[in-house]
């Protein structure tokens, strides 16, 4: 039976519907290019947000500053590390949350601290030409001490045995993941050494063209407040002053849902949802994308929705013919591998419903707009033609397959995607772990998953990754999956809630050598694995590039290094995998992959590391087209439960104590406390105990709503 809904309000009724109730559209059909206004705001759903929490934290600090420039300067100098980038990227929120910012964003934070809500005293921005080097941070480039480094001391201060055990579990998870990442990086470096050295013919990053600081009006005139000098006096004379910074220097992020239709034999793309914002405004925001569905006469209307914190922005709806659900989930059913990672290429078959100008694909396009240029990213939502036809040039005439046979499976439209625009490592995250969120709502669950995403930059650095040179874009997809065959520990017909992470963009400077490139590439995979473990999931046996390479090594399979122009012959690789590898080679990248695709339960899996021949940067890729770690949560398996039951199980797991403790302990130990670690440990233990009270209350509410534990 198919359930319709008019908007996304309850995640139990939307993102985590059972396969018997959520995944039966076939095809997106919308012959008319017109529709409702793009990105029209809908009604807000009230859930606390990290944005609000950061704003409250800054406001509380402003009360303590009480308009005193010297007090604000001292606070920022202690809390915010100076870094260099062009323009306003983070704003006050991002600077406060990540504890690192350039001169422009630091000046904006100072203004917020000094003026508070009263705009008194008056402030303005001053600038002089040319870049000014920031002061050398106390860390001098070394990794900061994290709360995880003091796990034993923090655990010793905790009396509750469950919380104590969670702290030690977080410690052990980090130790094990670090060791695994190091082994993977060392093995990868050996293979990368076989590749030609990168050419290094890249355009260097643009330097700021001016230095910006804050001026505060007082009885004696305007006083300079510049945290980039010990005295607060800028190293140059102001040539310009403005009351507000120009918008031309602001970084922006734009998100579009682009739909492709076959019209008159030609493939035509058009946006059905568009949204953009200054990046600084959403530096702490949770961004969720998905579709809501409503039944129609013979069709299902799927409306794309982007939620920024609690505010929905609706796009133009698309219509899809319905597909009957499988008659017997216990005995089979269609394969709902929602992220297209089963490695098989379904046989093309025409849609069972005649269509006029069918929609053939949809993509999320994300543009990161900086003063120095734009980085454009694309992530598949669904594709009814497939990568093989798109690669061999037959896309315009290839069969338009039914939704249950396309890449991504029939669950693609029912997945819920969290989009993390991550502007830096976390420095102070006391507000990040909010256990007062109601995870039975879309926004409550989105807030919990957003909290996971925000740990990624810190984990990646802690596991050996290079410093990011811009915003990281990390996606998290949440849906259900089943299959007709035994696969990944699943029996036929069993249904699980599945979580996948896709590191769509991790910008770094050119690595100095293959060892650094290997550490950075391996750290991304390892950090995604950390997030999977924290969420209470079991990693998919072949859900990461490391897992595929480890399986190949166990089977004694050699690795091959392919360059553009080489023959592409990987035994056991699916046509889809070969098409994606061929596309990477055609783009000029080198490919490192097992010569024979390893197999699990009779299904071959393919993954590879793509090497940029210019920069030497290494990134993992999969035959799904993603750069991801994914789960196969066999402990959450049940045959045919309701969507609500499966949601309840997921909510229980993501609310585990270890999720609370590891998030708190990723926070940086202030340099002033490095020699007084016991004081930090006492404070961290107190915060953990306070947060755990809220967590326990939410768990009781979940148990009341959900009933007995589902297993």
Residue 307 vs residues 151, 269, 285, 293, 708: alpha-carbon distances, Å: 36, 23, 10, 16, 32
Q: Which is more confident, 327 or 703?
A: 703
213: confidence class by pLDDT, cuts 50, 70, 90:
very high
Q: Are 303 and 292 in contact (CB under 8 A)?
A: yes
Overall average pLDDT of the 532-559 stretch: 83
DSSP state of 403: G
Convert the pLDDT of each residue in 87-103 to its tens digit. 999 999 999 999 999 99
Place of tokens 């009779």: 602
Asked if residue 365 has pLDDT above 90, the reply is yes
Quote the pLDDT of residue 40. 45
Question: Poorest-confidence range of 250-259, 404-413, 621-630?
Answer: 404-413
Residues in a beta bridge with 591: 562, 610
Quote the pLDDT of residue 531. 87
Q: Are 710 and 650 in contact (CB under 8 A)?
A: no
Q: Which is more confident, 36 or 61?
A: 61
Convert the pLDDT of each residue in 225-251 to its tens digit. 998 888 889 989 999 999 999 988 899
Rounded to an integer, what distance in angstroms lies between the CA atom of residue 189 and that of residue 523? 13
Q: Which is more confident, 38 or 162?
A: 162
Whether the upstream peptide bond of residue 590 has omega within 30° of 0, thus cis, is no
Overall average pLDDT of the 308-337 stretch: 59
SS3 content of the chain, % helix, strand, coil (to 5): 35, 25, 40
Rounded to an integer, what distance in angstroms lies between the CA atom of residue 415 and that of residue 292? 10
User: Which residues does 134 contact at the CB level (< 8 Å), separation at least 6?
Assistant: 82, 83, 84, 102, 103, 228
601: confidence class by pLDDT, cuts 50, 70, 90:
low
Quote the pLDDT of residue 665. 75
Quote the pLDDT of residue 327. 34
Overall average pLDDT of the 291-295 stretch: 76
Quote the pLDDT of residue 418. 93
Sign of CA dihedral 224, 225, 230, 235: negative
Tokens of 160: 């509750």
Question: Poorest-confidence range of 156-170, 294-308, 328-342, 690-704?
Answer: 328-342
**SS3 category, 404:** helix
Q: Are 415 and 481 in contact (CB under 8 A)?
A: no
Q: Are 548 and 594 in contact (CB under 8 A)?
A: yes
Q: Are 402 and 351 in contact (CB under 8 A)?
A: yes
Residue 121: exposure state from Cβ atoms within 10 A (0-12, 13-18, ≥19): middle
How many C-beta neighbours within 10 Å does residue 204 have? 7
Quote the pLDDT of residue 268. 94
Tokens of 398: 């290839």
Longest dimension (CA), the chain: 83
Parallel/antiparallel/unpaired status of strands 100-101 and 81-82:
parallel
Rounded to an integer, what distance in angstroms lies between the CA atom of residue 304 and that of residue 698? 30
Asked if residue 332 has pLDDT above 50, the reply is no
Closest of 379, 323, 315 to residue 22, by C-alpha = 323
Overall average pLDDT of the 49-54 stretch: 90
Asked if residue 22 has pLDDT above 80, the reply is no
Asked if residue 20 has pLDDT above 50, the reply is no
Q: Which is more confident, 4 or 232?
A: 232
Quote the pLDDT of residue 328. 33
Overall average pLDDT of the 319-326 stretch: 56
pLDDT cut 70: percent of the chain above it = 73
638: confidence class by pLDDT, cuts 50, 70, 90:
very low
Overall average pLDDT of the 249-273 stretch: 93
301: confidence class by pLDDT, cuts 50, 70, 90:
confident
Rounded to an integer, what distance in angstroms lies between the CA atom of residue 13 and that of residue 527? 30
Overall average pLDDT of the 519-548 stretch: 84
Q: Which is more confident, 637 or 581?
A: 581
Quote the pLDDT of residue 644. 57
Rounded to an integer, what distance in angstroms lies between the CA atom of residue 368 and that of residue 282? 13
Quote the pLDDT of residue 544. 79
Q: Where are the beta strands (DSSP E) in 357-471?
A: 358-370, 373-383, 416-422
| Phi, psi values for residue 97, rounded to 5° | -70, -40
User: Which residues does 61 contact at the CB level (< 8 Å), separation at least 6?
Assistant: 75, 113
Rounded to an integer, what distance in angstroms lies between the CA atom of residue 310 and that of residue 42? 10
Rounded to an integer, what distance in angstroms lies between the CA atom of residue 26 and that of residue 115? 55
Asked if residue 463 has pLDDT above 90, the reply is yes
Rounded to an integer, what distance in angstroms lies between the CA atom of residue 434 and that of residue 415? 24
Overall average pLDDT of the 260-280 stretch: 93
Q: Are 308 and 42 in contact (CB under 8 A)?
A: no
Q: Which is more confident, 390 or 638?
A: 390
Rounded to an integer, what distance in angstroms lies between the CA atom of residue 656 and that of residue 535? 8
Residues in a beta bridge with 217: 222
User: What is the length of the chain?
Assistant: 711
Quote the pLDDT of residue 696. 77
Quote the pLDDT of residue 133. 79
Question: Poorest-confidence range of 202-206, 297-301, 440-444?
Answer: 202-206
Overall average pLDDT of the 343-369 stretch: 69
Asked if residue 119 has pLDDT above 80, the reply is no
Q: How far apart are the two ends of the chain, measured CA to CA in Å?
A: 23
HSE, side-chain direction, 13 A CA sphere, residue 513:
6
Q: Are 466 and 507 in contact (CB under 8 A)?
A: no
Rounded to an integer, what distance in angstroms lies between the CA atom of residue 250 and that of residue 587? 31
Asked if residue 222 has pLDDT above 90, the reply is yes
HSE, side-chain direction, 13 A CA sphere, residue 419:
24
Tokens of 656: 């585990």
CATH 3.60.20.10 correct for 51-132+208-249: no
Question: Poorest-confidence range of 14-23, 144-153, 618-627, 678-687?
Answer: 14-23
Quote the pLDDT of residue 706. 65
Quote the pLDDT of residue 649. 64
Quote the pLDDT of residue 299. 64
Q: Are 250 and 410 in contact (CB under 8 A)?
A: no
Q: Report the C-alpha dihedral over residues 484, 485, 491, 492, rounded to 10 degrees.
A: 20
Q: Are 473 and 422 in contact (CB under 8 A)?
A: yes
Place of tokens 């799927």: 302
Convert the pLDDT of each residue in 509-518 to its tens digit. 889 899 999 9
Overall average pLDDT of the 428-433 stretch: 60
In order, the DSSP letters of 414-443 are: G-EEEEEEE-S--S--TTT--TTS-TTSHH
Question: Poorest-confidence range of 308-317, 365-374, 431-440?
Answer: 431-440
Q: Are 517 and 464 in contact (CB under 8 A)?
A: no
DSSP state of 90: S
Query: Domain extents for the chain?
Result: 51-132+208-249
Asked if residue 139 has pLDDT above 60, the reply is no
Alpha carbon 187 to its chain centroid, in Å, reads 27
Q: Average pLDDT, whole number, for the chain?
A: 78
Place of tokens 């591998």: 337
User: Which residues does 284 contact at the CB level (< 8 Å), separation at least 6?
Assistant: 49, 50, 51, 53, 54, 93, 94, 97
Convert the pLDDT of each residue in 582-591 to its tens digit. 999 999 999 9
How many C-beta neighbours within 10 Å does residue 362 have? 24
Rounded to an integer, what distance in angstroms lies between the CA atom of residue 216 and that of residue 67? 10
Q: Which is more confident, 64 or 437?
A: 64
DSSP state of 634: G
| Phi, psi values for residue 381, rounded to 5° | -100, -55
Rounded to an integer, what distance in angstroms lies between the CA atom of residue 431 and that of residue 680? 17
Quote the pLDDT of residue 215. 95
Quote the pLDDT of residue 28. 26
Quote the pLDDT of residue 330. 30
């Amino acid at each position: 039976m198919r359930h319709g809904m008019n908007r996304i309000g309850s995640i139990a009724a939307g993102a985590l519907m059972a396969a018997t109730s959520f995944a039966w559209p076939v095809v997106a059909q919308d012959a008319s290019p017109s529709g409702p206004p793009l990105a029209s705001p809908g009604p807000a759903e009230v859930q606390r947000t990290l944005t609000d929490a950061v704003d409250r934290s800054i406001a509380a600090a402003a009360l303590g500053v009480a308009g005193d420039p010297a007090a604000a300067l001292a606070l920022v100098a202690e809390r915010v590390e100076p870094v260099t980038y062009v323009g306003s990227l983070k704003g006050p929120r991002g600077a406060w949350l990540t504890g690192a910012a350039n001169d422009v964003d630091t000046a904006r934070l100072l203004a917020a601290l000094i003026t508070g809500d009263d705009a008194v005293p008056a402030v303005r921005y001053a600038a002089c030409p040319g870049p000014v080097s920031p002061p050398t941070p106390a860390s001098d480039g070394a990794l900061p001490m994290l709360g995880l480094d003091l796990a034993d001391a923090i655990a010793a201060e905790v009396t509750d045995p469950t919380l104590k055990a969670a702290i030690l579990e977080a410690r052990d998870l980090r130790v094990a993941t670090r060791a695994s990442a190091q082994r993977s990086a060392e093995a990868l470096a050996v293979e990368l050494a076989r590749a030609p050295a990168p050419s290094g013919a890249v355009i260097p990053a643009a330097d700021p063209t001016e230095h910006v600081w804050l001026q505060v009006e007082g009885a004696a005139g305007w006083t300079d407040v510049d945290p980039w000098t010990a005295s607060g006096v800028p190293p140059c004379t102001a040539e310009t002053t403005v009351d507000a910074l120009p918008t031309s220097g602001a970084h922006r992020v734009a998100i579009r849902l682009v739909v492709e239709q076959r019209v008159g034999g030609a493939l035509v793309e058009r946006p059905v949802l568009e949204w953009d914002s200054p990046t600084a405004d959403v530096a702490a925001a949770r961004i969720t994308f998905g579709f809501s569905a409503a039944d129609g006469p013979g069709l299902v209307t799927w409306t794309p929705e982007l939620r920024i914190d609690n505010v929905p922005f609706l796009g133009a709806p698309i219509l899809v013919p319905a597909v009957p659900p499988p008659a017997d989930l216990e005995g089979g059913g269609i394969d709902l591998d929602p992220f297209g990672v089963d490695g098989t290429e379904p046989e093309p078959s025409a849609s069972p419903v005649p269509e006029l100008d069918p929609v053939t694909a949809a993509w999320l396009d994300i543009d990161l707009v900086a003063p120095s240029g734009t980085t454009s990213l694309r992530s598949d939502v669904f594709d009814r033609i497939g990568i093989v036809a798109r690669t061999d040039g037959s896309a315009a005439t290839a069969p338009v397959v039914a939704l249950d046979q396309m890449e991504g499976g029939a669950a693609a439209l029912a997945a819920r995607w969290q989009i993390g625009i991550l502007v830096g490592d976390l420095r102070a995250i006391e507000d990040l772990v909010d256990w007062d969120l109601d995870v039975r709502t879309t926004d409550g669950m989105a807030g919990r998953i957003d909290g996971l995403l925000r740990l990624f930059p810190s984990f990646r650095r802690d596991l050996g990754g290079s410093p990011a040179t811009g915003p990281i874009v990390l996606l998290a997809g949440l849906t259900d999956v089943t299959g007709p065959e035994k696969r990944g520990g699943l029996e036929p017909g069993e249904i699980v809630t599945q979580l996948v992470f896709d590191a769509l963009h991790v910008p770094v400077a050119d690595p100095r050598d293959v060892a650094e490139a290997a550490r950075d590439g391996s750290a991304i995979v390892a950090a995604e694995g950390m997030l999977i473990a924290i969420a209470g999931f079991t990693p998919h046996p072949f859900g990461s590039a490391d897992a595929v390479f480890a399986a190949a090594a166990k089977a004694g399979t050699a690795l091959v290094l392919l360059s553009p122009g080489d023959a592409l012959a990987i035994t056991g690789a699916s046509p889809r995998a070969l098409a994606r590898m061929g596309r990477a080679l055609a783009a000029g990248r080198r490919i490192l992959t097992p010569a024979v695709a390893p197999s699990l339960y009779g299904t071959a899996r393919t993954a590879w590391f793509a090497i940029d021949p210019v920069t030497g940067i290494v990134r993992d890729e999969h035959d799904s087209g993603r750069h991801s770690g994914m789960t196969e949560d066999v402990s959450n398996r049940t045959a045919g439960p309701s969507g609500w039951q499966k949601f309840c199980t997921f909510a229980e797991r993501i609310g585990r104590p270890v999720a609370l403790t590891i998030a708190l302990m990723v926070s940086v130990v202030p340099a002033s406390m490095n020699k007084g670690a016991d004081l930090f440990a006492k404070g961290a233990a107190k915060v953990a105990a306070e947060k755990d009270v809220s967590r326990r209350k939410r768990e009781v509410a979940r148990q009341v709503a959900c009933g007995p534990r589902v297993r």
